[in-house]
């Protein structure tokens, strides 16, 4: 499965970035399940529980032999995936961050550019 930034599932919420459906469509069409990270406007009080539950999933799926990947967005704070908080939580458990691909606006501009950027990653 792929852990993705909220932006990729809900691009219409991000006025300064392309309203691009391509990452969602590429992941969907590749047969991967999605674990969506919290939006940037996440209430701080909820963040700890959410990040902890994502770390639980990375740990559990990893232990069971599932492929777990992470796709972030370069132009968003924390790559849109709360990268430092997630890394800190995983580090405390002795678990490595999933294989990660961070995209740029040009990568999500078209279906072709997205497929080119993610094609080799979503193996």
Partner 1 sequence: MKSAGGKRRSRRKVAFVAHCLVNQNAKVAEFARLPGVVSPVIDLLKSSGYVIEQLPCPELLFNGATRWWTTKDIYDNPGYRRHCRSLAKFSADVIERYQRDGYEVILIGLDGSPSSGVRFTGTSEPIWGGRPDARIDEYKIVPGRGIWIDELAKELDERGIPFPKASGVPMDSPDFDMDRSVAELASFLSD
CA of residue 102 relative to chain centroid, distance:
9
Interface with partner 1 includes 40 (CB under 8 A)? no
Report which DSSP code applies to 39: P
CA distance 8 to 27: 10
**Is residue 97 within the footprint of partner 1 (CB under 8 A)?**
no
Residue 50, interface with partner 1 (CB under 8 A)? yes
Helices (H), 10-106: 22-29, 44-63, 83-93
Stretch binding partner 1 (CB under 8 A), from 37-45, 70-78, 94-102, 105-113: 37-45
| 53 touches partner 1 (CB under 8 A) | yes
Residues 80, 37: contact at Cβ < 8 Å?
yes
Binding partner 1 (rule: CB under 8 A), the pick from 19, 48, 74, 84 is 48
Q: Are 97 and 86 in contact (CB under 8 A)?
A: yes
Interface with partner 1, residue 79, by CB under 8 A: no
Contacts with partner 1, residue ranges (CB under 8 A): 1, 9-10, 12-13, 21, 24, 27-28, 30-36, 38, 41-43, 45-50, 53, 56-57, 60-61, 64, 66
């Amino acid at each position: 499965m792929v852990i993705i930034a909220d932006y990729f599932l809900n691009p219409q919420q991000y006025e300064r970035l392309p309203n691009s459906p391509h990452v969602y469509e590429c992941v969907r069409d590749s047969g991967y399940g999605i674990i969506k990270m919290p939006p940037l406007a996440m209430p701080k009080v909820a963040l700890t529980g959410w990040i902890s539950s994502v770390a639980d999933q990375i740990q559990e799926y990893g232990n069971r032999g599932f492929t777990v990947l992470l796709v972030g967005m370069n132009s968003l704070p924390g790559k849109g995936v709360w990268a430092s908080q997630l890394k800190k939580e995983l580090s405390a458990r002795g678990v490595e961050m999933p294989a990660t691909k961070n995209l740029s606006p040009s990568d999500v501009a078209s279906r072709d550019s997205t497929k080119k950027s993610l094609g080799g990653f979503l193996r």
